[in-house]
Amino acid sequence: MGRFRQAAMDEGNEAGIDISPLMDCVFILLIFFIVTTTFVEETGVEVDKPQAASSVQQEKNSILIALTEKGEVVYGGREIGFSGIRPLVKRMLQKEEIPVIIQADTAAPSGMLVRVIDEAKLAGAETVSLSTLKPAS
């Protein structure tokens, strides 16, 4: 009888929970959330935005174009110039209809700002907005 008792005790010591299927599920969920996350692409240049009391939060998925005080047009950290606005906006709008947001510096000439807006509209952008700061209350 002692032999059976010893065998039963040995089997009980080896019993455990296999967590490898759980780890597989966790990694699959992690990959799913990484793939479906929408990343905001910044312009890559620091701009001193003007303040506006009527500013509202825009959707995150948009085309961000910066206009510096020196009159440089920047997208994704590189200067594209006025001639690069129209092809960029056309290419981005082929995937889906998204708004164009212009981050213009307060010292940027208004004529250049109008030109950036005009180029975006000529490329087919339905919504062109200006990025501003909400004044401190």
**What pLDDT tens digit does each residue of the chain (137 aa) get?**
555 555 555 555 566 788 888 899 999 999 988 887 766 556 666 666 666 666 666 666 788 888 988 888 988 888 898 899 999 999 988 888 888 888 888 888 888 999 999 999 999 988 888 887 777 66
CB atoms inside a 10 Å sphere around CB 104: 24
What DSSP string describes 31-85?
HHHHHHPPPP---SS---PPB-TT--PPPSSSEEEEE-TT--EEETTEE-TGGGH
Q: Are 70 and 26 within one domain?
A: no
Q: What burial letters (b/e) apply to 76-88, b meaning 16+ CB within 10 Å?
A: eeeebeeebbbeb
78/17 Cα distance (integer angstroms): 53
Q: Are 72 and 14 within one domain?
A: no
> What range defines the domain where residue 26 resides?
2-36
Quick check: is 121 in a domain?
yes
Torsions phi, psi for 63 (to 5 deg) = -95, 115
Q: Are 68 and 120 within one domain?
A: yes
Number of domains in the chain: 2
Q: What is the pLDDT of residue 28?
A: 92
Q: What is the pLDDT of residue 48?
A: 63
Quick check: is 123 in a domain?
yes
